[in-house]
Amino acid sequence: MAHAIATHDAQGKPLFHTEQEVHVQNGTMIGFWLYLMSDSLIFAILFACYGVLGGNYAGGPGPAELFDLSLIAVNTGLLLVSSITYGFVMIAMQEGRLQQMITWLMATGALGAGFVAIELYEFNHLIHIGAGPDRSGFLSSFFALVGTHGLHVSFGIVWLIVLIVQLKRYGINEPMKRRVACLSMFWHFLDIVWIGVFTFVYLMGVLR
């Protein structure tokens, strides 16, 4: 029935919409999936930039001197554990346990915050020793790629806090289930991007 743009009702007044418009109720998950796919293209471009510019040190320091792999290992661990804690959020939601959900969400948020804190420490340290994004092509593309990922994680934490507040107010209902499931996809997606970062940027950088 969605073909009518402007028809007239029984009284002759114009009608600009139909009463029984088709409303898709279950398109959110596939829509959010498509958003993640488009987001991965942003990261693909940043990875390609790093792949092209990553060897241009401009006489400055290279990855082997700058990267502290033990710090990156800790960060990778934090993000990996936060993936399983978010899995526990989804299981608690399925079983209808609100308090458990909030606890696991808080654990996930804390692990994410730890990740961002370590990353900010690393960035601060690099800028402090004169290896900021303005130093060389390598460092510009490094900060752009890793910074974009860190920004995504930060916004994920904001989303997570909003969900905790909403869960406390509304409990577990259909819209909340949908929102928690979307953040689940977002969070696991960021962990997947991080696999690319630690493999391609940090581990391969040190080997270079």
Partner 1 sequence: MGDDHGHGAHIPHASFKDYMTGFVLSVILTAIPFALVMGEMLDSKVATIGIILALGAVQIVVHVIYFLHMDAKAEEGWTLMSFLFTASLLIIMLVGSMWIMSHLHRNTHPKDPTPAEVRHMP
Interface residues toward partner 1, by CB under 8 A = 25-26, 28-30, 33-34, 37, 40-41, 44-45, 47-48, 51-52, 55, 57, 59, 61-62, 65, 69-70, 73, 76-77, 80, 83-84, 87-88, 90-91, 94, 174, 177-178, 181, 185, 188-189, 191-192, 195-196, 198-200, 203-204, 206-208
Q: Which is nearer to partner 1, 124 or 173 (CB)?
A: 173
Q: Which is nearer to partner 1, 84 or 117 (CB)?
A: 84
Q: How far is the CB of 59 from partner 1 (least distance, A)?
A: 5
> Using an 8 Å Cβ cutoff, are 183 and 30 in contact?
no
What DSSP character marks residue 112? H
Q: Which is nearer to partner 1, 144 or 203 (CB)?
A: 203
Q: How far is the CB of 196 from partner 1 (least distance, A)?
A: 7
Taking the CA of residue 38 as centre, how many other CA atoms within 13 Å lie in the half-sphere pointing to its CB? 5
Q: Which is nearer to partner 1, 115 or 189 (CB)?
A: 189
Element (H, E) at 141: helix 137-170
Across 12-94, the runs of DSSP E, i.e. the strands, are 14-15
Q: How far is the CB of 39 from partner 1 (least distance, A)?
A: 10
Burial track 156-189 (b if 16+ CB lie within 10 A, e otherwise):
bbeebeebeeebeeeebeeebeebbbbbbebbeb
Looking at this protein, which amino acid is placed at residue 139? L
